[in-house]
Amino acid sequence: MKIYVERCASCHRAAGQGHPLGPDLVTVKTSGKEKLLVNILDPNREVAPQYLSYLVETKTGEALTGIIVK
pLDDT confidence tier of residue 61, bands split at 50, 70 and 90 = very high
SS (H, E, C) the chain: CHHHHHHCCCCCEECCEECCCCCCHHHHHHCCHHHHHHHHHCCCCCCCHHHCCEEEECCCCCEEEECCCC
User: What does the pLDDT read at residue 15?
Assistant: 82
pLDDT confidence tier of residue 60, bands split at 50, 70 and 90 = very high
The per-residue pLDDT for range 26-43, each reduced to its tens digit, is 877 788 889 888 888 998
